[in-house]
């Protein structure tokens, strides 16, 4: 028989499914309240950005373009996680055929709903062949954000900006998040999704110290916090598939509302 304190601790650590959670104004029916989704509760932000340049320099810091010269056409999350991310995007993307979207660090998939495409949907990434095969784009742009973090778009261009499973590779995150704010329309959304898979030598070292979802949430939230622009709201969406940790990968999205 569990003691009462142990039972309460165990109960507090479990994810709870509700009819729907609303994060940054987005209603997400399959989101859950969990320790991960509450990672930012009560956080005491420092006056200054808490990470150093060393913490943002990967073990393998060579040319990213060379790393992605050959197309890979591989998925970086399990099928259940990809499906959950797609379901999340169905909650926040504009209606099909409308709106402007920008998918950063894109590839042959943006994980958007099948058949979805906006009136202006840009896939920006490193490999032209993978981008060419992305079904959700209306155009694509080859750009290495770690070499050139300036986004080549006018202010207030996009309704939604996404980054699926690559925010952990950004070496100039504050500049990129500042640029995202610039090119988003007023009230626009920036959605940074990640799981627990990565290329260990390519992620920034702070991602591995420690390698937990709670730490990853705080890292991405700090990019919003310290990028030099004011976001009206920053929230965390836990859309990890059902099942115990170890049985499935997590799927977490840190969302910023301009």
pLDDT category of residue 244 using cuts at 50, 70 and 90: low
What local confidence, expressed as pLDDT, does residue 3 receive?
45
Would the pLDDT of 14 be above 60? no
What are the C-alpha distances in Å from 88 to residues 9, 44, 54? 29, 28, 33
Residue in 111, 131, 112, 226 with CA at minimum distance from that of residue 176:
226
Instruction: Determine the Cα–Cα distance for residues 138 and 24; give it in Å rounded to an integer.
Output: 27
What local confidence, expressed as pLDDT, does residue 12 receive?
43
Residue percentage of the chain with pLDDT more than 90: 80
CB 97 within 8 A of CB 116: no
Question: Mean of the pLDDT values across residues 146-167?
Answer: 98
pLDDT category of residue 76 using cuts at 50, 70 and 90: confident
Other beta carbons within 10 angstroms of residue 187's beta carbon come to: 10
Other beta carbons within 10 angstroms of residue 102's beta carbon come to: 27
| The two structure tokens encoding residue 221 | 């939230």
pLDDT category of residue 246 using cuts at 50, 70 and 90: low
What local confidence, expressed as pLDDT, does residue 232 receive?
98
Would the pLDDT of 249 be above 60? yes
Greater model confidence, 192 or 246 = 192
Would the pLDDT of 233 be above 70? yes
Q: Average pLDDT over the chain, rounded to whole?
A: 91
What local confidence, expressed as pLDDT, does residue 60 receive?
86
Would the pLDDT of 17 be above 60? no
What local confidence, expressed as pLDDT, does residue 199 receive?
87
Question: Mean of the pLDDT values across residues 18-37?
Answer: 92
Locate all alpha helices (DSSP H) within the chain, ordered by sequence.
4-13, 64-67, 79-92, 128-132, 173-183, 213-225
**pLDDT (tens digit per residue) in 87-133:** 999 999 999 999 999 999 999 999 999 999 999 999 999 999 999 99
Instruction: Determine the Cα–Cα distance for residues 244 and 174; give it in Å rounded to an integer.
Output: 34
């Amino acid at each position: 028989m569990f003691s009462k304190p142990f039972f309460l601790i165990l109960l507090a650590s479990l994810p709870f499914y509700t009819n729907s959670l609303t994060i940054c104004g987005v209603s997400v029916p399959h989101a859950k309240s969990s320790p991960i989704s509450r990672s930012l509760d009560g956080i005491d932000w420092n006056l200054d950005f808490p990470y150093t340049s060393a913490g943002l320099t990967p073990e393998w810091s060579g040319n990213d373009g060379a790393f992605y010269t050959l197309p890979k056409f591989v998925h970086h999350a399990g099928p259940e996680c990809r499906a959950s991310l797609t379901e999340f995007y169905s909650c926040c993307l504009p209606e099909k055929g409308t709106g402007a979207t920008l998918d950063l660090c894109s590839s042959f998939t943006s994980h958007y709903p099948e058949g979805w495409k906006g009136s202006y949907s840009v896939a920006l990434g490193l490999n032209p062949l993978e981008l060419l095969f992305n079904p959700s784009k209306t155009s694509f742009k080859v750009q290495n954000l770690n070499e050139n973090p300036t986004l080549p778009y006018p202010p207030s261009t996009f309704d939604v900006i996404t980054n699926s499973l690559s925010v952990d590779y950004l070496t100039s995150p504050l500049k990129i998040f500042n640029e995202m704010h610039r090119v988003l329309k007023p009230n626009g959304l920036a959605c940074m999704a990640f799981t627990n898979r990565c290329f260990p030598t390519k992620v920034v070292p702070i991602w591995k110290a420690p390698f937990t979802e709670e730490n990853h949430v705080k890292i991405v939230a700090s990019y919003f916090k310290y990028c030099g622009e004011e976001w009206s709201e920053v929230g965390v969406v836990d859309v990890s598939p059902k099942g115990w940790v170890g049985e499935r990968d997590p799927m977490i999205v840190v969302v910023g509302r301009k």
